[in-house]
């Protein structure tokens, strides 16, 4: 399986919330290593969690608008009727699978793998991967472009400016240890 803009991944809320994880996923998508998808439900959860962290409403709007403007085709529509037909261990995750089915995604990127049973997802032609596993697969299949995307991400970091190795440490602290180690080996 080759990752490209033809490869579609629904990003669960738990991989969008952490800034460092969101940043690298969005940079990889910006460099056409995959096509990201999300739903209104996913962004509503993200907004709710940002509000719980006392993030300013203007900043919340800025983050959501930036994501939607960067990837104007990412928002999945008309998936809601599928939600009630889905049977997952955590009923609060049904909307993620519904969005993946509706958009004919290749996989769901989530760090809650236990909530997406492999056999059940397989019946829809889908599977789930952690952000770390998804990123290392993407790097493995597209090393030059992935490294370019990573370097561009590093150059665009502000407050504070960081070098590549400092950003790799951030990735490790964000539970992306395999990704950081793989990128480190490419530098």
Q: Do 176 and 132 contact (CB within 8 A), yes or no?
A: yes
Torsion, Cα of 90, 173, 53, 61 (10° steps): -90
CA 59 to chain centre: 20
Instruction: Please report whether residue 161 resides in a domain.
Output: no
120 assigned to some structural domain: yes
pTM: 0.94
Cβ of 100: how many Cβ atoms within 10 Å? 29
Take residue 163 and report the two structure tokens written for it.
């070098």
CATH code for the domain of 82: 3.40.50.1010
Tens-place pLDDT, residues 116-148 = 999 999 999 999 999 999 999 999 999 999 999
- Band of the pLDDT at 156, cuts 50, 70, 90? very high
Q: Considering the domain boundaries, does residue 29 fall inside one?
A: yes
- Give the pLDDT confidence of 17-76 residue by residue, as tens digits: 999 999 999 999 999 999 999 999 999 999 999 999 999 999 999 999 999 999 999 999
**Is residue 92 assigned to a domain?**
yes
In a domain, 166, yes or no: no
Residue 74 lies in a domain: yes
How many domains is the chain partitioned into structurally?
1
Is 1 part of a structural domain of the chain? no
CA dist., res. 156 & res. 154, Å (int): 5
**SS3 call for 108:** strand
Distance of CA 52 to the CA centre of its chain: 21
Rg (CA), the chain: 16
Residue 85, in any domain of the structure: yes
Q: How far, rounded to the nearest angstrom, does the alpha carbon of residue 85 sit from its chain's CA centroid?
A: 25
Taking the C-alpha atoms of residue 47 and residue 70, their distance in angstroms, rounded to an integer, is: 18
Expressed as residue numbers, the domain containing 86 is 8-141
pLDDT recorded at residue 4: 54
């Amino acid at each position: 399986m080759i990752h490209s803009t033809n490869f579609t991944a629904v990003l669960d809320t738990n991989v969008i919330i952490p800034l460092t994880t969101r940043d690298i996923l969005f940079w990889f998508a910006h460099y056409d290593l995959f096509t990201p998808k999300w739903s209104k439900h996913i962004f509503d959860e993200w907004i709710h969690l940002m509000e719980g962290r006392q993030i300013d409403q203007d900043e919340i709007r800025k983050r959501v608008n930036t994501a939607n403007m960067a990837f104007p085709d990412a928002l999945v529509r008309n998936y809601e009727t599928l939600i009630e037909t889905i049977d997952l261990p955590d009923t609060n995750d049904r909307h993620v699978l519904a969005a993946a089915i509706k958009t004919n995604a290749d996989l769901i990127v989530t760090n809650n793998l236990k909530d997406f049973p492999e056999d059940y997802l397989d019946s829809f032609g889908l599977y789930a991967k952690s952000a770390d596993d998804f990123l290392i697969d993407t790097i493995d299949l597209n090393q030059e472009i992935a490294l370019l995307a990573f370097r561009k991400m590093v150059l665009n970091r502000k407050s504070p400016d960081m070098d590549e190795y400092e950003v790799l440490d951030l990735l490790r602290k964000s539970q992306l240890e395999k990704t950081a180690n793989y990128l480190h080996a490419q530098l």
